[in-house]
Amino acid sequence: MTLIDFFIAPFSDYAFMRRALAAAVILAMGGTPLGVFMMLRRMTLVGDALSHAILPGVAVAFLVAGLSVWAMTLGGLIAAIIVALAAVFLVRTTQLKEDGAFTLLYLLSLGGGVTLLSLKGSGVNLLHLLFGNILAIDAQTLMLTAGVSSLSLFVLCVLYRRLVIDGFDPSFLAVAGNGRGAVWTSPLFFVLLMINLVAAFQALGTLMALGLMILPALAARFWVRNIDKLIPLAMGLAVLSAVAGLLLSFYLDVPSGPAIVLLAGMGTLLSALIGRVGSVRLYRTRGR
């Protein structure tokens, strides 16, 4: 077997691998720019909590409509919106802080979701929803994923300058953008995040959906200093992890979602150790 065979054959020989590759690349391209902004806004844990929070919605949809892509997507989206609004409500009206509120809600969602799912159905379905099954993605789901990612990239282009300004100095956006719709920036970002998480969950499951968005962004931060380079590099790293993860999954016969996230995570850890910006390697010379 030549090297080319090793990398190409799985995809040329099997249609399910091709669909998985397409889904992974699409998710990588659509999700990582959001991941970069999540990282810069220091809300990666909030994103993580939101991604788990979609489970009960998906579970209810599954109980009612079975494994229907549309029903589960809608259910997941509704659950995510409810959790986000509930978190905002709790933070405003109680002494809970954001991290506490989201932790409460995502644990509640996970517990509730798994309990609901076990009312009907097997452990196979549960595993499928928790960890996704990118190898079983059908054409319909692929179209949904592609649609969401395209829409999200388009909206992100429009929002881009606002998001950059908001992360750098929110007061500038609020004061200078007064009357220019600046107040919609954060809510729109949240909506984008939610639809991307719901789109990614089919492939990577509720536990792993965030991995492909956020890990490459964290890794990229260790190599480049400017946002112009951060987003393309994060996209590239995400695509790389996706392809490598699929190959790993194919040859070692391990679940594909966790394989992709494992490789992305290892890449991030390696970047943290030897990267060019703020890594362990530079700890001594940094002086602070």
Partner 1 sequence: MSTALITLEDVTVHYGPHLALQRISGQFGAGTLTAIAGPNGAGKSTLLKVIAGLLRPSKGRVTIAPEVRASIGYLPQISASQRDYPLSVMQAASTGLWPEIGNAGRLTPTLKDRVRAALAEVGLAGFELRQISALSGGEFQRLLFARLILQDPKVLLLDEPFAAIDAETTARLIKLLLRWHGQGRTIVCVLHDLLLIHKYFPDSFVLAGKCMGRGHTHDLFEQKLLSFDLDMAELHDPEHAEGPHDAD
Rounded Cα–Cα distance for residues 222 and 160 (Å): 22
Rounded Cα–Cα distance for residues 279 and 22 (Å): 33
Does position 96 interact with partner 1 (CB under 8 A)? The reply is no
Distance of closest approach, residue 41 Cβ to partner 1, in angstroms: 9
Does position 221 interact with partner 1 (CB under 8 A)? The reply is yes
Question: Contact with partner 1 (CB under 8 A): which of 120, 161, 276, 281?
Answer: 161
Distance of closest approach, residue 169 Cβ to partner 1, in angstroms: 5
Q: Supply φ then ψ for residue 221, to 5 degrees.
A: -60, -25
CA atoms within 13 A on the CB side of 211: 28
Question: Contact with partner 1 (CB under 8 A): which of 88, 107, 143, 176?
Answer: 176
CB closer to partner 1, 40 vs 79: 40
Are 37 and 152 in contact by the 8 Å Cβ rule? The answer is no
The footprint of partner 1 on residues 121-160 (CB under 8 A) is 158-160
Region of 27-35, 178-186, 250-258, 280-288 interacting with partner 1 (CB under 8 A): 178-186
Rounded Cα–Cα distance for residues 50 and 197 (Å): 8
Does position 165 interact with partner 1 (CB under 8 A)? The reply is yes
Does position 167 interact with partner 1 (CB under 8 A)? The reply is yes
Question: How far, in Å, are 120, 154, 215, 248, 264 from residue 261 at the CA level?
Answer: 29, 26, 8, 11, 5
Binding mask 225-264 for partner 1 (x = CB under 8 A): xxxx-x----------------------------------
Distance of closest approach, residue 221 Cβ to partner 1, in angstroms: 8
Does position 285 interact with partner 1 (CB under 8 A)? The reply is no
Helix, strand, coil percentages for the chain (3-state, nearest 5): 85, 0, 15
Tokens for 33?
């720019």
Distance of closest approach, residue 156 Cβ to partner 1, in angstroms: 11
Question: How far, in Å, are 76, 148, 198, 203, 215 from residue 141 at the CA level?
Answer: 14, 11, 11, 9, 24
Are 192 and 152 in contact by the 8 Å Cβ rule? The answer is yes
Does position 40 interact with partner 1 (CB under 8 A)? The reply is yes
Does position 118 interact with partner 1 (CB under 8 A)? The reply is no
Amino acid at 77: L
Residues within the interface to partner 1 (CB under 8 A): 40, 158-162, 164-165, 167-169, 171-172, 174-180, 221, 224-228, 230
